[in-house]
């Protein structure tokens, strides 16, 4: 059996380009004792992948050149030499950007029978739905009647954050790029207001939509936009730092907030997090999200790129804004 894998050919200089990657064919052997052969069905395109492409050690490590690009995914067991899994089982794990892999069975989580596997990359996914839940509820303590602002709101985590805030009774303003995404947020995701940052005038639009100030800011972007929102915090506001996608292409020159003194002035707080700190709460998070999905209170729009060869373009798309909702690759 031949597998295809996406490898890193060279370190990106700023924004990644297709030429930074290569597609390699490789002959598969049989799994050894304790291992499984998995056929990958869907790969999750997440912002953290970009941080693994640089040579320095970041939060998520750094991959070597000519090795598969890091990616979480779901797939099906083809052959198993591991007692905990058998052929046909749906699994989730760090599969990498490839069509198949042989790996120790302990690396994978067996997914429930009958589950739609790719939901565990999207609404029920650790880097998507569970991240949005942890940031809004565990860290941000969102409350009914508050004004919540979400940046990168048309992306996977953003769409989930907006909807969870609405479910909790908040008034939600989403920030995204372009008029189509602004309409998407108000017409499909249920935001009370949306701001197109590409049109300029974010500060004025935010003052109009959040005239009493921002109670909770869920930040996926960082940079200048973070300062804009810090300037309009309400008394006692919370800022939750989920990510900083505007900074990942030049981490040697990350721009921090200039207006951090607004935190002191407004008796506000700012806290960063990663979802793995809340693993003990994952079962409750999954139960709540599954209930909201079943009731129709929550939806997870998807953008699926077909073919492993499309993985580099999909990763670039995550930073250039060509998608809405959860971005996936189907190898």
How many other C-beta atoms are found inside a 10 Å radius of the C-beta of residue 179? 12
Residue with the larger pLDDT of the pair 18 and 61: 18
Give residue-wise pLDDT tens across range 152-210: 999 999 999 999 999 999 999 999 999 999 999 999 999 999 999 999 999 999 999 99
pLDDT band, very low/low/confident/very high, at 58 (cuts 50, 70, 90): low
Res 253: pLDDT: 86
The reported pLDDT for the residue numbered 274 is: 96
Give the model confidence (pLDDT) of 1-13 as tens digits.
899 999 999 999 9
User: To the nearest whole percent, how much of the chain has pLDDT over 70?
Assistant: 99
Exposed (0-12), middle (13-18) or buried (19+): which is 52, by Cβ within 10 Å? middle
- The beta strands (E) that lie in 135-287 are given as 147-151, 171-176, 193-196, 214-219, 233-241, 269-272
Q: Which domains does the chain have, with CATH numbers?
A: 2-122+300-330 (3.90.180.10), 141-276 (3.40.50.720)
Q: What is the pTM of this model?
A: 0.94
Task: Dump pLDDT digits (tens) for 117-164.
Answer: 999 999 999 999 999 999 999 999 999 999 999 999 999 999 999 999
Handedness of CA 207, 208, 214, 219 (dihedral sign): negative
The number of angstroms, rounded, from the C-alpha of 322 to the middle of its chain's C-alpha atoms is 15
Q: Is 28 helix (H, G, I), strand (E, B) or coil?
A: coil
Mean pLDDT over 62-88 rounds to 97
Mean pLDDT of all residues belonging to the chain: 96
Spatial neighbors of 322 by CB under 8 A, at least 6 apart, are none
Picking from 247, 201, 291, 288, the residue whose alpha carbon sits closest to that of residue 51 is 247
């Amino acid at each position: 059996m031949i597998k295809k894998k996406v490898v890193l050919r060279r370190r990106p200089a700023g924004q990644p380009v297709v030429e930074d990657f290569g597609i390699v064919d490789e002959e598969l052997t049989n799994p050894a004792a304790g291992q499984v052969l998995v056929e990958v069905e869907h790969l999750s395109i997440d912002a953290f992948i970009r941080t693994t492409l640089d040579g320095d050690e970041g939060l998520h490590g750094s991959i070597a050149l000519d090795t598969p690009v890091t990616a979480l995914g779901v797939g099906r067991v083809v052959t198993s030499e591991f007692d905990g899994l058998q052929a046909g089982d749906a699994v989730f794990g760090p599969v990498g950007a490839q069509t198949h892999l042989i790996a120790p069975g302990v690396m994978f989580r067996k997914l429930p029978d009958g589950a739609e596997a790719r939901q565990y990359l999207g609404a029920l996914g650790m880097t998507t739905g569970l991240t949005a839940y942890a940031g809004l509820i565990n860290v941000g303590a969102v409350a009914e009647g508050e004004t919540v602002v979400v940046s990168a709101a048309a992306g996977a985590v953003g769409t989930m954050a907006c909807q969870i805030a609405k479910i909790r009774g908040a008034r939600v303003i989403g920030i995204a790029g372009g008029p189509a995404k602004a309409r998407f947020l108000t017409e499909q995701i249920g935001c009370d207001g949306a701001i197109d940052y590409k049109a300029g005038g974010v500060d004025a639009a935010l003052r109009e939509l959040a005239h009493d100030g921002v109670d909770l800011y869920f930040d996926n972007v960082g940079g200048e936009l973070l300062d804009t929102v810090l300037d309009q915090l309400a008394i006692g506001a919370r800022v939750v730092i989920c990510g900083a996608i505007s900074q990942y292409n030049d981490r040697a020159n990350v721009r921090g907030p200039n207006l951090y003194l607004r935190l002191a002035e407004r008796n506000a707080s700012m806290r960063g997090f990663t979802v793995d700190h809340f693993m003990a709460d994952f079962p409750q998070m999954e139960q709540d999200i599954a209930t909201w999905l079943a009731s129709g209170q929550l939806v997870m729009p998807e953008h699926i790129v077909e073919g492993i060869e499309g993985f580099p373009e999909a990763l670039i798309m995550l930073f250039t804004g060509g998608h809405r909702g959860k971005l996936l690759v189907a190898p």
